[in-house]
Amino acid sequence: MNDAAAVSGRCIAHLDMDAFYASVELLRYPQLKAQPVVIGGRRRTAASAKAAAATEPPDAGRFERLADYLGRGVVTTATYAAREFGIRSGMALMQAARLCPQAVLLPADFDEYRRYSRLFKAAITAIAPRIEDRGIDEVYIDFDAVPGGAEQQGLPLARSIQQAVRERTGLGCSIGVAPNKLLAKLASEFDKPNGLTLLRAEDLAERVWPLACRKINGIGPKAAARLEQFGIGTIGELAQCERGWLIEQFGRHHGQWLHEVSWGRDAREIVTESEPISMSCETTFERDLHAVRDRAELGAVFTSLCERLAADLSRHGYVGRTVGVKLRYDNFRSLTRAQTLKFHTADAVVIRRTAGLCLKRAPLQRRLRLLGVRMGGLLPAAAAGAEPTAQELELELF
DNA sequence: TCTGGGGTCCTAGGACCC
DNA sequence: TCTGGGGTCCTAGGACCC
C-alpha cells in the first residue's frame, strides 16, 4: 500500500544540527575549539549566564576543580574532542570527570540554544516553508512544497539550505534527502558533520540493511535487545523475518511496523502544526528527601513546582484538566498518580491542591530523589469553558 | 560510576453506560 | 437472575525521543 507513496516520489529532507549545544558554546568561546568540552550539570541561571559571558569559560570550569559542583548531573552533550575520551550524552558527570579530568564543563544555557534554534529554523523556512519541528535541533523539510525543490533529487535545494543555515548562524548541519521521513532521518546521520546524503528506495539493501536495528527511530534499547535475542542485529536481518512471525512476537501494531520499516516503507506525512498534550515540571534533589523528616523542604519544592507549571501554562496560553505527580525513589523506581478534574484550569492553587491529593495516594516510606508535577488534557485557554465556581471547586477538592 | 528534564505514544485493565 | 458486547473515559506504566 505504501507503493503509492513510492510511485508518487515524495522528496523529504531531514536536517540535524551538528553537535548543536556544543557548537553554540564554541561560537561564544572559540578558544575552546580543540579542547574536550562537556555541557551538562546545573542549568545556567540568568545571573550565572551573565557571569559566564563576562569571564569567559574559566579554568575553574575544569572537572578536576569542580568535584562539589557535579552533583547528580548528567552529560547533555560533548564536543567531538571530549567524545574521544569515551564521554557520551546521558552519562553521569562524575563518570565523565573520571574519564577526562581536564575537560571543560559548561552549564547548559537553553535560552541561548532556543535562540539559535529559532534562527536556523527561520533560515530554512525562508527557503522551504513547510517544515516539521522535531525538537530544538532537528526538522523534517517538505521539498515537494518548494517549486523545483525535488529537481536533481533535491540536491541543489539541500545545498542552499545548508549554506543558508551556516550564513545565518555560523553552525553546521547534516541533511538527508529521501522519499520518506524514515529514510531521510537515517540518511542525515550517514555523513556527519556537514553531511549531505541522498538515499533512494533502491539503495535500501546496500546502504540501510547493513545498519543496526537500533539506528531506526523508534527502536530503542529494549526492542533492540529483544531482537538481538532472536539473533536479529541488522535491519537486513529484520527484513528477512516473516511479517506474521514479527506480529506473533511483538504484537499486531509493533510487529507490523517493524516489518514496514525494515523495508524502508513509511507513509507518514510532514506535520507542520501541533498542539501540546501535556506540560510538566520536575526536579531531582541534591540529596534524597524523606516525606516526614524533610517535610518542610519537600513541601516548598512541591509548591514551587506547581507554581512554575501554572506559570508555564499561562505563558503559553493553555489550561488542562488532568493533574499528575511523578515520584522517583532513592532506588530509582518511579511512580505516577493522576486525577482528572471536571474543568480546565491553569490555577496554581488548584494544581497544588489536586497534586497534593495525588501525592497522598503514593507510598512515602522511602526517600525521594525526584518530584514532578504534570498537567495533561491541555486546551488553548481561549477554547476552554468557564472557570469553575467556588462551590464546584469546594466539591471537588476540599 | 549511579542514572536530567521535557515531551509523545502505546497498552492494558477497570468503571460506566447503552 | 444471569448474561452479551461495544464504546468511551480514566489511570498507571513503560518505551522511546530530543
> What cell numbers appear for A380 in the block?
488553548
Q: Are A345 and A310 in contact (CB under 8 A)?
A: no
Strand (E) or helix (H) holding A281? strand A278-289
Q: What is the pLDDT of residues A326-377, one digit of tens each?
A: 999 999 999 999 999 999 999 999 999 999 999 999 999 999 999 999 999 9
> What cell numbers appear for A31 in the block?
578558544
| Mutual angle of helices A348-360 and A390-397, in 10-degree steps | 20
Radius of gyration of chain A (CA): 24
How does residue A39 score in pLDDT terms, banded at 50, 70 and 90? very high
Q: How far is the CA of A334 from the C1' of C13 (A)?
A: 9
What is the structure's pLDDT at A180?
98
What is the structure's pLDDT at A42?
65
Query: In this complex, which protein residues place their C-beta within 7 A of any atom belonging to strand B?
Result: A 71-74, 76, 89-90, 92, 94-95, 98, 135, 251-254, 276-284, 312, 331-332, 369-370, 372
Closest among A284, A285, A246 to A263, alpha carbons compared:
A246
What is the structure's pLDDT at A4?
45
How would you classify the pairing of strands A138-142 and A104-108? unpaired
Protein-proximal nucleotides of chain B (any atom < 7 Å from a CB): 1-12
Identify the top-confidence range among A58-62, A74-78, A107-111, A326-330. Answer: A326-330
- The pLDDT of residue A119 is above 90: yes
Nucleotide B5's nearest residue (CA vs C1') is A282
Q: How far is the CA of A286 from the C1' of C8 (A)?
A: 43
Active site residue A275: no
Protein-proximal nucleotides of chain C (any atom < 7 Å from a CB): 9-18
What is the structure's pLDDT at A385?
76
Q: Which residues pair with A372 in a beta bridge?
A: A282, A326
CATH, domain range A209-262: 1.10.150.20
Residue ranges covered by each domain of chain A? 4-18+113-202, 21-109, 209-262, 278-397
Computed over every residue of chain A, the mean pLDDT equals 91
What nucleotide is nearest A257 when CA is compared to C1'? Answer: B10
- The pLDDT of residue A206 is above 50: yes
Query: In this complex, which protein residues place their C-beta within 7 A of any atom belonging to strand C?
Result: A 134-138, 185, 216-224, 322, 324, 334-340, 358, 361, 377
How far apart, in whole angstroms, are the C-alpha atoms of residue A260 and residue A235?
11
Q: How far is the CA of A364 from the C1' of B1 (A)?
A: 27
What is the structure's pLDDT at A54?
41
What nucleotide is nearest A253 when CA is compared to C1'? Answer: B10
Task: Name the residue with higher pLDDT: A258 or A8.
Answer: A258
What is the structure's pLDDT at A53?
46
Q: Are A288 and A368 in contact (CB under 8 A)?
A: yes
User: Considering the domain A4-18+113-202, what is its CATH architecture?
Assistant: 2-Layer Sandwich (3.30)
Q: How far is the CA of A91 from the C1' of B2 (A)?
A: 9
What nucleotide is nearest A340 when CA is compared to C1'? Answer: C10
Range name among A54-68, A258-272, A293-307 with the lowest pLDDT average: A54-68
CATH, domain range A278-397: 3.30.1490.100
Q: How far is the CA of A390 from the C1' of C14 (A)?
A: 38
Q: CATH classification of A21-109 is 3.40.1170.60, yes or no?
A: yes
What nucleotide is nearest A99 when CA is compared to C1'? Answer: B1
Catalytic residue (choose from A84, A138, A269, A286) = A138
